Structure 1
Amino acid sequence: MEHRRLRKEQVWLAVGSLMILATVALAFALAYTRDVMIPFVLAIFITTVVAPFFDYQVTRLRFPRWIAVVTTLLVVAALISLLSLAFVAAFQAMVAVASDYGQQVGDLSERLFDSLQSRHIQIDQAKVVSLIEERVPQYVTQSAGLLMGVISHTLLVIIFVVFLLFGRDSHKRRTGIMADIERTFREYLVEMTIISTLTATLVGCVLWMLGLPMAWLFAFLVFILTYIPNIGGIVSTLLPIPIAFAAFNNPWLIVAVVAIPAAIHVVIGSFVAPRLMSHGLELHPVTILLSLAFWGLLWGIVGMFLAVPIMAMLRIVLAEFETTRPLAELLSGRLPGRDAARR
């Protein structure tokens, strides 16, 4: 019995080592091919969303496949165009006010330096302020350029969508892994869209009533960043702080700009989201944070948006096979050995 247990541990150690090496190799491959893989993964997700519309045209309306592809692509192109126009408008506004944003951060820094000097803490104020005023517009412009680069991949995404739709068998009933993956992603997208819209609307109304400049722009950023679990809400809550310090002299208004949106995120995340996302993704919070770090390192901000659905689909695939089922349980936050011992 002892020999068998030792042998089993050695096998799992060898399997675990091989999986770590395979993960590292896969990470390098994904990072190297990101210019192709990002549009391809986006195309898979888009195809999953529009597949019911495509299948309805082929099976119920009896449209030829090429007509169904064309009408589906028109819908996809319209949605991508609307999203692209929203990104362009929002980040053109950000780039236009980037210098003012940097100046406002510099004004805030000067106030902090005056407070520090009054306490006899000496810092090179001119150097730090000039660095802030130079870096902030640069970071805003780089962020806009990154998102514009994503939009520039639209043509490649559409090409992938065309091939995926032509290769889809609309008459075949999907069961098992594929059915679970499609259902999980569609439910996740719909539920997150509702949550993001509700959060952005409430935050935007609060910032507008408080009189914060560019309140609509921060509300749009809340809508986008809410798709990134945990981290997105924190970042979107902190973004208006420099503008609030520059715009308001009343400290209570500055506190309200941060506290009320933070409370909205907490309430929606603690009470609304769990009830809306009743099925859940069965991913442990630590798994979500690690996946955000991993995919963000590989594919940048786009990877952070795709991290959760990718990990949810990976968990479904791993759960289908006896050998990899413990890994799926681990992603869900359940330790198979400990659970079995308790039983």
Structure 2
Amino acid sequence: MTKTDSPSSASRMLVAAAAIIAGLYWFADLLTPLALAIFLWLTIDAFAQSLSKRVSFLPRAAAVPVAILIVFISLAAIVGFVIEYAAVFSRSLGAYQVRLDELIRQGYDLANMSAAPPTVGQLFANLNPGAILRGVADALQSFGGQALFVIIYVACLFAAQASMPAKLEQIFQDEKERGRAAKIGKAIARSMEQYLWVQTITGLMIAVASWALFAVVGLENGLFWAAIIFVLSYIPVVGGAAGSLLPALFALVQFTSPVPALVILAGTQGIGFVVGNIIQPRMTGDSLNISVLVVFLSLVFWGKLWGGPGAFLAVPMTVMLMIVLAQFPSTRWIAVMLSNNGNPDTSVDADDPPASSAAVSNQGDVKEETTTSSDDKV
């Protein structure tokens, strides 16, 4: 590339990036279910492969529907559990009205506000219940519509999976390019599988340890708060902070002393710190290969574009983008900046044999040929 066409090339890249970002934002309702379906499809496919390998009598054709059934039943159980406990939790809020009024008065005193503090009843009277119910109904309708589209997309992806090798042969005529494309696809699938596995296991660790802490302190609905912490653990950075703050705020309402709330806040933060900084890095290794700063920026970026689903998909989408950008010379520098160790091809080249191993193998072949030739002479 010459110096004269470098500015024009950079400007074209900026325009293309702006157009892509605008498309992601304006077509979020269409792309969000598709992205969730691709992520779920890769997860179910990896789970089916693991089942077929570990269960000898289960063939690949039967492992896929079994994996689909297990994943969707697990998701439905989690959603149903949270909804059931949320209803129980909302019915018990009336018993804490006196404590809430006291907290409001204490807040007014700390702020040195001379006006009379409102009561909880007055605050709810000023709200518009009809508008709130309409908003909840619209949110549930949107969630149900997206869930239906996700299920349809997942079924279509599994139906199209059988013809994918033939399509790759037609797209990539060269065998080397076709092998490279297959490695990129495997690297993306492996990264997403690793991310979901690590987030699930570490989320369970944090939720179980937090539930034990809630039981010791005596926090009511501790199982509900542990389930909320587990669900929020799939959202990096922000999810852990919210999971620690919500039960601590409820402890302020339940207990007359702020000590239990401080114990819960410090305990959940300590549990998250140990799991996130000691256990999780050892489980993840270099499979994701993105820095903490990039994780936070990706959370802000995808959350702004796609809301809650974008926050959930922030890390896997960024890893996928990094792997793809690393394959082109003009965008490789972006992938290097996104990576943690400066080598965005780590997951793609994981299946390639090291140069030293190849050299040792070649040397062994040479020695074997030399021995054979000497035997022939004898």
Q: TM-score range by the shorter chain?
A: 0.7 to 0.9
- The farther-off stretch of 322-331 and 79-88 is 79-88
Partner of 2:30: 36
Amino acid at match of 1:43: A
Structure 1 residue 78: deviation in Å?
Answer: 4.2
Judged with a 3 Å threshold, the aligned counterparts in structure 2 of structure 1 residues 20 and 213 are, in CA distance, closer, same or farther, namely: farther
Does residue 80 of structure 2 align to residue 88 of structure 1?
A: yes
Partner of 1:292: 299
Structure 1 residue 127: deviation in Å?
Answer: 7.6
Partner of 2:146: 153
Does residue 184 of structure 2 align to residue 188 of structure 1?
A: no
Does residue 104 of structure 2 align to residue 97 of structure 1?
A: no
Is the Cα–Cα contact under 8 Å of residues 204 and 215 in structure 1 kept in the other structure?
yes
Is the Cα–Cα contact under 8 Å of residues 200 and 220 in structure 1 kept in the other structure?
yes
Judged with a 3 Å threshold, the aligned counterparts in structure 2 of structure 1 residues 141 and 97 are, in CA distance, closer, same or farther, namely: farther
Structure 2 counterparts to residues 6-45 of structure 1, below 5 A: 7=3, 11=6, 13-45=7-39
Judged with a 3 Å threshold, the aligned counterparts in structure 2 of structure 1 residues 34 and 115 are, in CA distance, closer, same or farther, namely: closer
TM-score relative to the length of structure 2: 0.72
Structure 1 residue 112: deviation in Å?
Answer: 4.9
Judged with a 3 Å threshold, the aligned counterparts in structure 2 of structure 1 residues 22 and 125 are, in CA distance, closer, same or farther, namely: farther
Structure 1 SS opposite 2:113:
coil
Partner of 1:239: 246
- Correspondent of 2:210 among 178, 203, 206: 203
Structure 1 SS opposite 2:182:
coil
Is the Cα–Cα contact under 8 Å of residues 221 and 236 in structure 1 kept in the other structure?
yes
Does residue 333 of structure 2 align to residue 326 of structure 1?
A: yes
Q: Distance in 2 between matches of 1:162 and 1:298?
A: 26
Partner of 1:249: 256
Give 5+ residue unaligned stretches, structure 2. Answer: 166-178, 344-378
Structure 2 counterparts to residues 62-141 of structure 1, below 5 A: 68=61, 72-73=64-65, 75-98=67-90, 100-101=92-93, 104=96, 107-108=99-100, 110-114=102-106, 116-117=108-109, 120-126=112-118, 130-131=122-123
Paired residues in the alignment total 323
Is the Cα–Cα contact under 8 Å of residues 32 and 306 in structure 2 kept in the other structure?
yes
Q: Distance in 2 between matches of 1:55 and 1:170?
A: 22
Structure 1 residue 310: deviation in Å?
Answer: 0.3
Does residue 229 of structure 2 align to residue 222 of structure 1?
A: yes
TM-score relative to the length of structure 1: 0.79
Is the Cα–Cα contact under 8 Å of residues 44 and 161 in structure 1 kept in the other structure?
yes
Judged with a 3 Å threshold, the aligned counterparts in structure 2 of structure 1 residues 208 and 129 are, in CA distance, closer, same or farther, namely: same
Structure 1 residue 119: deviation in Å?
Answer: 7.9
Partner of 2:269: 262
Is the Cα–Cα contact under 8 Å of residues 302 and 311 in structure 2 kept in the other structure?
yes
- Structure 1, residues 4-59: CA drift from partner, whole Å, max 9, x if none? 7xx37x72x544444343333323322333333222112211221232537997xx
Is the Cα–Cα contact under 8 Å of residues 106 and 133 in structure 1 kept in the other structure?
no
Partner of 2:219: 212
Structure 1 residue 79: deviation in Å?
Answer: 2.0
Structure 1 residue 324: deviation in Å?
Answer: 0.8
- Correspondent of 2:157 among 164, 174, 178: 164
Structure 1 residue 238: deviation in Å?
Answer: 0.4
Give 5+ residue unaligned stretches, structure 1. Answer: 337-343
Judged with a 3 Å threshold, the aligned counterparts in structure 2 of structure 1 residues 22 and 251 are, in CA distance, closer, same or farther, namely: same
- Structure 1, residues 247-281: CA drift from partner, whole Å, max 9, x if none? 11233212111110110001111111111111241
Judged with a 3 Å threshold, the aligned counterparts in structure 2 of structure 1 residues 225 and 16 are, in CA distance, closer, same or farther, namely: farther
Amino acid at match of 1:288: V
Structure 1 residue 331: deviation in Å?
Answer: 1.2
Amino acid at match of 1:117: D
Amino acid at match of 1:163: C
- Correspondent of 1:48 among 39, 42, 45: 42
Amino acid at match of 1:269: G
Quote the sequence identity (%): 27
Is the Cα–Cα contact under 8 Å of residues 48 and 182 in structure 1 kept in the other structure?
yes
Structure 1 residue 180: deviation in Å?
Answer: 0.9
